[in-house]
Structure 1
Amino acid sequence: MALTEGKEKGENESAPGPESETDDRPTRGEIFDLLSNHRRRYAIHYCKQQDDPVELGDLAEHVAAWELDKEVAELTSAERKRVYTSLQQTHLPTLERANMVEFDDRTIALTDSAADLDVYLDIVPGDSIPWGVYYLGLSAVAGAVIAGLWLEVVPTETVPTLGWATLLVALFGISAAVHTVENRRSRLGAGDRPP
């Protein structure tokens, strides 16, 4: 995904230039900053799931339910109101300034910038390793097997050379398939719950 660089901090944002449509796109750093807050991530996730603009009340209910790990029907009015107020006063104006949503105090619609934002969150549980480290380890194992085949220290009587190659390709193929499925589950707007 290519991002157009946004305006530098300190420039006058109230005087749009002739290229304001492309200049208003957030930079990669700004996107990471926007997504660093779970309520903003949840808001974008919910809006990406809907085909039409969403009502602030519905958005607040879903964000609160995800945040508290409850069903919408189980929420108290205080829990709804706390999230509603936070979204209305802080998070939605922040997303609007970043040109991610259009917000008119009651209705929220994603802009083209947010609708086209194809972000996945590389969530690594405490008992797991990042995919990059996994592939590095798998490559090291594959390199060791290939070096062993070249040096003729890996047995080829029980498993032929083509069998070793097939095994390595299968390991990478299965790993890539699992990685692809995990990435799809971790995309904003995909699945029932936000990543």
Structure 2
Amino acid sequence: MSKSGAGGLLSREPTKERGGLPKDEIFDLMSNHRRRYTIHHCKQADGAVPLSDLAEQVAAWEKDKSINELGSAERKTVYTSLQQTHLPRLERAGIITYEDGEVELTNQTERLDIYLDIVPENSVPWGVYYLGLSLLSSLVIGALWAGVLPTGTVPMLAYPTVIVVLFTVSAAYHALTNRRYRFENLDEPL
């Protein structure tokens, strides 16, 4: 389903020709931990990353070891896998450029950010939280209409003010939490 607008052709499913990737391809790219680790390491780096450094870091994350503890076979296995399989796949998708043994992210990576946000374990989904806050707000407003809440000792505008403050504080906390749990802000990728 697409629609024409001032900015050109808009679509729910961007295609590579228009500078986007279909959701299925994004999920396929992100389904492999070595590709996720590659993107994560490159996001943390400032500029191009040598393949040898990338392979060492990916191997260290895989083996849950420091880079100094890695054996040459562990490094070589990851290096070969990245060079022959994962980097060409990411390059074909337009996520990275790989030239002269160096890997660098493209602007296409910014389009992946929505799929790379991390939701902490045991947290309440934000949609459920805001639904609960909306229901509570509706109950307060309904109680005001029904005359159940006191308005003589408490100014009538105090109730909606508290509701707006709750939503504002919640939204600010939500924005800060999302920034903290962005894929590139984690020490180790998932």
**TM-score range normalised by the length of the shorter chain:** 0.7 to 0.9
Write the deviation string for residues 83-134 of structure 1: whole angstroms up to 9, x where unpaired. Answer: 32332222211101111112247221222322x3351434334422211121
Gaps of 5+ in 2: 1-10
Alignment partner, residue 50 of structure 2: 55
1: CA distance between counterparts of 2:65 and 2:151?
56
State whether residues 117 and 182 of structure 2, in contact with CA within 8 Å, keep that contact through their aligned partners in structure 1: no
CA 1:24–1:161 in 2, change beyond 3 Å: closer, same or farther? Answer: closer
Write the deviation string for residues 4-45 of structure 1: whole angstroms up to 9, x where unpaired. Answer: 8326xxxxxxxxxxxxxx446422332232123232122112
Gaps of 5+ in 1: 8-21
Alignment partner, residue 119 of structure 1: 113
Number of residue pairs the alignment of both structures matches: 179
The correspondence for 1:32, drawn from 23, 27, 47, is: 27
Q: CA RMSD in A?
A: 2.8
Tell me the amino acid that sits aligned with residue 30 of structure 1: E
Q: Note the C-alpha offset of 1:49.
A: 2.3
The correspondence for 1:110, drawn from 105, 112, 120, is: 105
Say which SS state the counterpart of residue 108 (structure 1) adopts.
Answer: strand
The correspondence for 2:150, drawn from 146, 151, 155, is: 155
State whether residues 41 and 188 of structure 1, in contact with CA within 8 Å, keep that contact through their aligned partners in structure 2: no
Q: % of aligned pairs identical?
A: 55
State whether residues 97 and 104 of structure 2, in contact with CA within 8 Å, keep that contact through their aligned partners in structure 1: yes
Alignment partner, residue 138 of structure 1: 133
Q: Note the C-alpha offset of 1:156.
A: 3.7
TM-score in terms of structure 1 length: 0.75
Greater per-residue helix proportion: 2
Alignment partner, residue 124 of structure 2: 129
Say which SS state the counterpart of residue 147 (structure 1) adopts.
Answer: helix
Greater per-residue strand proportion: 2
2: CA distance between counterparts of 1:68 and 1:164?
55
2: CA distance between counterparts of 1:75 and 1:159?
67
